Structure 1
Amino acid sequence: MRIGELSRRTGVSPRSLRYYEEQGLLTSSRSETGQRHYSDAEVERVSLIQQLFDAGLSSRVIATVLPCVETPGDRNVVELAFAAMTRERDRIDADIAHLIETRDALDSLIRANSRHQTTLTAGPVPTRA
C-alpha cells in the first residue's frame, strides 16, 4: 500500500509516517518512481509506535524497544530493550514525583490565596476612637 493508504488506515499523517521512516521505526520499499510502498504488517507496527509515543517515549527509545517485538528470541535485543524500558520507567517515575511536588506547592498556594480572599471579603476591622 502507498503512504496515503497507510495514513488513512492508521490515522497517522503522511508527514509522521515519513518521520518514522527517517528515524528507522518504519520501513518501506520504493517503486521505480520513488513512491513508498508498505506491507499490511506496517499498519500494526504504526499502531504500536503510536502507543509508545503516547506513553511518552522518544523515537530514540522506541527504536531500541521495537526490535524486541520483531526478534523476541535474540537475548541481546531483549536485554537492550529491557534496559531502555527500565530507564524510561525510572524517568517517568521521576516526572511523576516532580508533578506531585508541584501539585502540592500549588495546593498550598491555593489555600493561602483562599485565606487571603476571606480576609478581603470581610473588610477592615473597625477601630474604636
Structure 2
Amino acid sequence: MLIGELARISGMSKDGIRHYEEIGLIRSTERRAGSRVYRDYDASAIKRIEHVRQAQQLGLSLKEIGPILDTYGEREVTAAETVSFLEERLDIVRGKLAELRKIEDFILQKLDRYRTSETKS
C-alpha cells in the first residue's frame, strides 16, 4: 500500500509515517511507476504502528521502542514474556511516581513556608 493508504488506515500523518521509517520503526520497499518512485508498505507496517502506540502508552520513547520491536520481530510474544515486561515497566513507573511524590512534598513544604511568612508580614 502507498503512504496515503497507510496514513488513512493507521490514523497517522504522512510525515509521522516517514519519521517512523526514518528511525527504523517501519519499513517499505521502492515501487517504480515510470520515472516516479513510490514507497510501498505491507500489512506488517500497520501491525508495527499498533505496537508502537501500545508501547508509547506504557511510557516508552520511540528510541526505546525500536530495539524492542527488533528483538521480538514479527513473532508472537508469549504470555510469560509479556508479564515479565509489564512487571518491569510497572517497577519503573512506580519509581518515577515515588520521585514525583518527593518533588511534590518539597514544593508543598516551600509553599507552606512562603504562605506562612506572608501571613506574618
TM-score strictly above 0.5: yes
Alpha-carbon distance between aligned partners in 2 of 1:89 and 1:48, rounded to the nearest angstrom: 18
Alpha-carbon distance between aligned partners in 2 of 1:25 and 1:11, rounded to the nearest angstrom: 16
- Computing the radius of gyration over CA atoms, which structure comes out larger, 1 or 2? 1
Alpha-carbon distance between aligned partners in 2 of 1:35 and 1:64, rounded to the nearest angstrom: 27
Equivalent residues in 2 for 1:97-116, closer than 5 Å: 97-116=98-117
Q: Where does the alignment leave 5 or more consecutive residues of structure 1 unmatched?
A: 121-129
Where does residue 17 of structure 1 map in the other structure?
17
Establish whether residue 71 from structure 1 lines up as the match of residue 72 from structure 2: no
Q: Which has the higher strand share?
A: 2
The residue identity in structure 2 corresponding to 1:95 is: K
TM-score (norm 1): 0.65
Where does residue 41 of structure 2 map in the other structure?
38
For these two proteins, the number of residue pairs brought into alignment is: 114
Alpha-carbon distance between aligned partners in 1 of 2:15 and 2:76, rounded to the nearest angstrom: 30
Alpha-carbon distance between aligned partners in 2 of 1:89 and 1:25, rounded to the nearest angstrom: 24
Cα offset, 1:48, TM superposition: 1.8
- Cα displacement string for residues 66-104 of structure 1 (whole angstroms, at most 9, x for unaligned residues): 24262247xxxx7xxx78x94x66554443332221111
Equivalent position SS for 1:30: strand
TM-score (norm 2): 0.69
**Percent identity (aligned):** 27
Alpha-carbon distance between aligned partners in 2 of 1:29 and 1:62, rounded to the nearest angstrom: 22
Where does residue 56 of structure 1 map in the other structure?
59
Alpha-carbon distance between aligned partners in 2 of 1:11 and 1:107, rounded to the nearest angstrom: 41
Alpha-carbon distance between aligned partners in 2 of 1:59 and 1:16, rounded to the nearest angstrom: 12
The residue identity in structure 1 corresponding to 2:37 is: G
Establish whether residue 47 from structure 1 lines up as the match of residue 50 from structure 2: yes
Alpha-carbon distance between aligned partners in 2 of 1:62 and 1:91, rounded to the nearest angstrom: 15
- Aligned-residue Cα RMSD (Å) equals 3.1
Q: Where does the alignment leave 5 or more consecutive residues of structure 2 unmatched?
A: none
Where does residue 117 of structure 1 map in the other structure?
118
